[in-house]
Amino acid sequence: MNAIGMSRRRFIELGRDTAAVTLATAAVPGVALGQTSGRPAASGRPMPDDVSLPSMPQRSRRPDSVGYAIVGLGDYALNQMMPRFSRSPRSHIAALVSGNPEKLRRVGEAYGVPADARYSYEQFDRIAADRRIDAVYIVLPSGLHADYAVRAFAAGKHVLCEKPMALTSADCERMIAAGHRANRRLMIAYRVHFEPHNIEAMALMRRQEAGKIRFVRTEQLSRTDPSSRPAENWRIDRALAGGGPLEDYGIYGLQAALYLTNEMPESITAATFQPANDPRFAQVFASVASQLTFPSGAIAQLMTSYDSSGSNIVHVRGDTGALIMDPATGYEGHKVRLEGRERRELSLGDPTVQFAAQLDNFSAAIRDGVAIRTPGEMGLRDVRLIEAIYTAADTGRAVRLSPDGKMRR
């Protein structure tokens, strides 16, 4: 596959730029190469489709329950995470942050969040004085994660941040440093680490139930149609979404390759595709494919796309068996099959516990100091690997890596 219509080197330079976001690409009409804008800003969006707001008031809460401010009232916050707070005994929604006053009011009333705990983006820094808020949950477009995390730490709050952690490793490092300075905890919301099928898959691979891992193949594929969900157009805007499908969806395949092999890759080759004359891909890639080689000799092939029929598969082939996860990393409906000495389907309970279990871990980290299963360092590691994938695609050469995921010069 070839990248056309934009300079991938420009894209990688963009990834290294922490001071300004460059919109430069020959494929963006009216935007000259090298032109820069400020960092993207948060702004209000309409209520997403298909939201059913709760009609019941929130449960009474434990005295040690952690109060979260939800920042960004989009599809994932409203349809997945916010309804699951009621299943995490030590977590509750204490405040909301949104740029849409009417949405803020409706969601605030439905979740029993008082009017004086509803903030606009402009008022965000005032959360410092709000003792009801212990932690901030950042569910904004990815290009906004770093700035809001740093501001939340400056306000003295803990930070649970959606994936990808940020769009550049420099921003990830900035977030980690801000957390250390503030002496506050940072977690990346990789819910799959709390999902029973994926947890069991990790354990099976550690026990070598398919033997020594030889290959991992992952497909995180979808076909994007921004015209049907205009509020989600940020996913094809480079300043907010980076390269596109890899940061958004392919990151699950990257994660799976790492948590199933339990290794870091030592080298990466990759290719990207950006079709000409398709407005969906004026700024982001349509497809990214990469190949990771691990010290054990295992090889992972990762495919991700915004322009393919849908698929969410993780397939491991060992020297004596295989693990097939299809679908592998969604919200529910997981199916996992182990083919080893025997062939068996794994039935492991309700995948939807992943949302609340993730909150349980972060609230326990804040209250009891327990380890965070998916800390900022894991988010940084993954963003470094994403940068390495783009570098490999750009140069057409294998990129060699240090064990911490940094590219070797």
**CA 231/CA 252 separation, integer angstroms:** 23
Under 8 Å between Cβ of 389 and 253: no
Stretch that binds ligand NAD, among 8-16, 40-48, 168-176, 302-310 (CB under 6 A): 40-48
Closer to ligand NAD at the Cβ: 240 or 257? Answer: 240
Give the nearer residue to ligand NAD in terms of CB position, either 195 or 387.
Answer: 195
Burial of 52 (0-12, 13-18, 19+ CB in 10 A): exposed
**Size of site (CB under 6 A) for ligand NAD:** 26
| Residue (of 331, 344, 382, 312) closest to 195 by Cα position | 331
Contact mark string toward ligand NAD, 380..399, x via CB under 6 A: --------------------
Two structure tokens written together for 42: 């948060």
By beta-carbon proximity to ligand NAD, the closer residue of 138 and 389 is 138
Give yes or no: 252 in active site.
yes
The CA-atom distances, in angstroms, between 246 and each of 214, 236, 289, 382 are 23, 12, 9, 11
48 lines the binding site for ligand NAD (CB under 6 A): yes
Nearer to ligand NAD by Cβ, of 77 and 204: the residue is 77
Contacts of 379 (CB under 8 A, 6+ apart): 161, 163, 164, 165, 166, 172, 188, 190
Q: How far is the CB of 143 from ligand NAD (least distance, A)?
A: 8
Minimum CB–partner distance for residue 359 and ligand NAD (Å): 12
Residue span binding ligand NAD (CB under 6 A) among the ranges 57-65, 105-113, 135-143, 360-368? 135-143
Under rule CB under 6 A, residue 142 binds ligand NAD: yes
Number of residue whose CB is nearest ligand NAD = 74
Among 42, 210, 254, 401, binds ligand NAD (CB under 6 A): 42
Tokens (6 digits) for 49: 């489709």
Instruction: Kindly identify the residues of this chain, within the stretch 174-193, that bind ligand NAD according to CB under 6 A.
Output: 189, 191
Which of 111, 119, 137, 163 does the annotation list as catalytic?
163
User: What part of residues 211-270 is at the interface with ligand NAD (CB under 6 A)?
Assistant: 231-232, 234, 240, 248
Position 195 contacts ligand NAD (CB under 6 A):
no
Q: Give, in order, the Cα–Cα distances in Å from 401 to each of 231, 282, 381.
A: 38, 30, 11
Residue whose C-alpha is closest to residue 283's, from 1, 45, 16, 10? 10
The amino acid occupying position 34 is G
The minimum distance between CB 248 and ligand NAD, in angstroms, equals: 6
Catalytic residue among 137, 148, 190, 252: 252
Min dist. Cβ of residue 9 to ligand NAD (A): 26
The Cβ-side half-sphere exposure at 72, using a 13 Å CA radius, reads 25
Query: Is residue 137 flagged as an active site residue?
Result: no
Residue 141 in the binding site for ligand NAD (CB under 6 A): yes
Spatial strand order of the sheet with 135-138 comes to 118-119, 91-97, 66-71, 135-138, 158-161, 186-188
Residue 246: both structure tokens together: 């890899």
Kind of pairing between the strands at 158-161 and 186-188: parallel
Q: What's the rounded Cα separation, in Å, for the pair 28 and 300?
A: 33
| Site residues (CB under 6 A) for ligand NAD, limited to 64-103 | 72-77, 98-99
CB of 52 to ligand NAD, least distance (A): 15
- What minimum distance in Å lies between the beta carbon of 214 and ligand NAD? 29
Residue closer to ligand NAD by CB (options 233, 291) is 233
List Cβ neighbours of 181 (8 Å cut-off, separation of 6 or more). Answer: 153
Distances in Å between the Cα of 337 and the Cα atoms of 37, 136, 207, 313, 328 are: 48, 37, 16, 12, 11
Is residue 21 near ligand NAD by the rule CB under 6 A?
no
Instruction: Supply the residues annotated as catalytic.
Output: 163, 252
What are the residues binding ligand NAD (CB under 6 A)?
40, 42-43, 45, 48, 72-77, 98-99, 139-142, 162-163, 189, 191, 231-232, 234, 240, 248
